[in-house]
């Protein structure tokens, strides 16, 4: 069965096809080539850049895989104030960035009035730019207020669509249902919504990944963020193996074929696991990169996994180097807002 041709033709693959592609029976080269073709049909050779500002390493959650989980008493905590965030945006704007992503742990300090104030200040000073939030689960009312303040995109990975796997990765207080509800709330309000999951998370099997894909089909997100699970020495999963680059690339390619319009980042986790990860992600269908715009002195404190890159091509300041890598991979950096093309 030619599963790749079936996906290209827009038909929904049964689980058997997804299993074959995830097992590398595409074969991989053909899978990646097909994904690249579809990406070029929809987005040409454009790679969109987002300036990532990690606003807080405080988190009230205790996800078992994450280095900034509440129980990690060795995590170095910081939060950025409004003026610091604005100066990151100013620096980013001068470098050509037109999307700012405010990402952080679920830090109660960033209550609605505080975060709305920041979003309003950025929107006022940079009217042509998009503000993306990635600050976790909040109420419908809170998401509405943030939208009214000017935020237009929201990233919230569903993490695991399988109830069984979700429970193994998260503490009892968290629920997959609430997370999914948040995603549907965000969509209803009018945000461009991003979801996603880790590849090779502890206890994850192929069947779980298929559930993730099925959930994404239901949600139909504008953006999908995936990257390999990488361990962190101060979490309960410290001895678990990390995810692999090849599985991440296969999933990126499958997602590109299934969601031709999607904005898919070639993530920092993928770049952190292998020096060629960034390029290979782009060549397997990814069309977004999110270099780090956080102040240099806090970058290593946002340590969600060990050996997370934040310098070199990961640094927003090194745009010329990033441009070279992207060009060498066969693409071109575009600095407009890069809204989804559906």
Residues of this chain that interact with ligand 5AD (CB under 6 A) are: 65-66, 157, 159, 198, 227, 229-230, 232, 269, 304-305
- Residue 33 C-beta: closest distance to ligand 5AD, Å: 27
Main-chain dihedrals φ then ψ at residue 132, nearest 5 degrees: -110, 135
- Residue 86 C-beta: closest distance to ligand 5AD, Å: 23
* H/E stretch holding 289: strand 288-289
CB atoms within 10 A of CB 320: 8
Q: Whole-angstrom Cα distance, residue 274 to residue 23?
A: 20
Contact 312, 73 (CB under 8 A): no
- Residue 47 C-beta: closest distance to ligand 5AD, Å: 20
- Residue 215 C-beta: closest distance to ligand 5AD, Å: 14
Q: Whole-angstrom Cα distance, residue 21 to residue 254?
A: 8
- Residue 297 C-beta: closest distance to ligand 5AD, Å: 21
Q: Which is nearer to ligand 5AD, 134 or 283 (CB)?
A: 134
Q: Which is nearer to ligand 5AD, 48 or 65 (CB)?
A: 65
- Contacting residues for 203 by C-beta, under 8 A, at least 6 apart: 165, 168, 169
- Residue 115 C-beta: closest distance to ligand 5AD, Å: 17
Q: Which is nearer to ligand 5AD, 170 or 232 (CB)?
A: 232
Q: Which is nearer to ligand 5AD, 48 or 305 (CB)?
A: 305
Describe the crossing of helices 82-95 and 112-125 by its angle, rounded to 10 degrees: 30
Q: Which is nearer to ligand 5AD, 76 or 324 (CB)?
A: 76
Q: Which is nearer to ligand 5AD, 205 or 233 (CB)?
A: 233
Q: Which is nearer to ligand 5AD, 17 or 136 (CB)?
A: 136
SS3 percent helix, strand, coil of the chain, rounded to 5, is 45, 15, 40
Q: Whole-angstrom Cα distance, residue 198 to residue 202?
A: 10
Q: Whole-angstrom Cα distance, residue 183 to residue 201?
A: 21
- Residue 241 C-beta: closest distance to ligand 5AD, Å: 12
Residue nearest to ligand 5AD (CB): 305
- Supply 233's token pair: 């020495």
């Amino acid at each position: 069965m030619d599963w790749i041709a079936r996906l290209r033709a827009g038909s929904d693959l049964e689980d058997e096809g997804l299993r074959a592609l995830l097992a590398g029976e595409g074969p991989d080269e053909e899978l990646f080539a097909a994904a690249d073709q579809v990406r070029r049909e929809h987005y040409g050779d454009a790679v969109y850049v987002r300036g990532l500002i990690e606003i807080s390493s405080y988190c009230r959650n205790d996800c078992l895989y994450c280095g900034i989980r509440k129980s990690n008493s060795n995590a170095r905590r910081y939060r950025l104030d409004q003026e610091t965030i604005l100066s990151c945006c100013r620096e980013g704007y001068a470098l050509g960035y037109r999307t700012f992503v405010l990402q952080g742990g679920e830090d109660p300090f960033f209550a609605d009035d505080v975060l709305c104030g920041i979003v309003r200040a950025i929107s006022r000073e940079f009217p042509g730019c998009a503000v993306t939030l990635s600050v976790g689960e909040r109420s419908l009312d809170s998401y509405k207020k943030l939208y009214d303040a000017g935020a237009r995109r929201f990233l919230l990975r569903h993490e695991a669509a399988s109830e069984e796997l979700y429970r193994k990765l998260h503490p009892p207080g968290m629920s997959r249902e609430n997370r999914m509800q948040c995603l549907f709330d965000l969509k209803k309000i009018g945000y461009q919504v991003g979801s996603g999951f880790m590849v090779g998370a502890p206890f994850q099997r192929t069947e779980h990944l298929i559930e993730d894909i099925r959930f994404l089909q239901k949600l139909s997100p504008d953006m999908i963020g995936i990257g390999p699970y990488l361990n962190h020495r101060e979490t309960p999963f410290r001895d678990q193996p990390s995810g692999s680059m090849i599985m991440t690339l296969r999933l990126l390619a499958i997602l590109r074929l299934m969601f031709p319009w999607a904005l898919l980042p070639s993530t920092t986790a993928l770049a952190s696991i292998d020096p060629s990860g960034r390029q290979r992600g782009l060549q397997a269908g990814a069309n977004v990169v999110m270099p780090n715009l956080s102040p240099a002195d806090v970058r290593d404190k946002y340590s969600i996994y060990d050996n997370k890159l934040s310098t070199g091509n990961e640094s927003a300041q090194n745009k010329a180097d990033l441009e070279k890598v992207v060009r060498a991979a066969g693409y071109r950096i575009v600095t407009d807002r890069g809204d989804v093309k559906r």
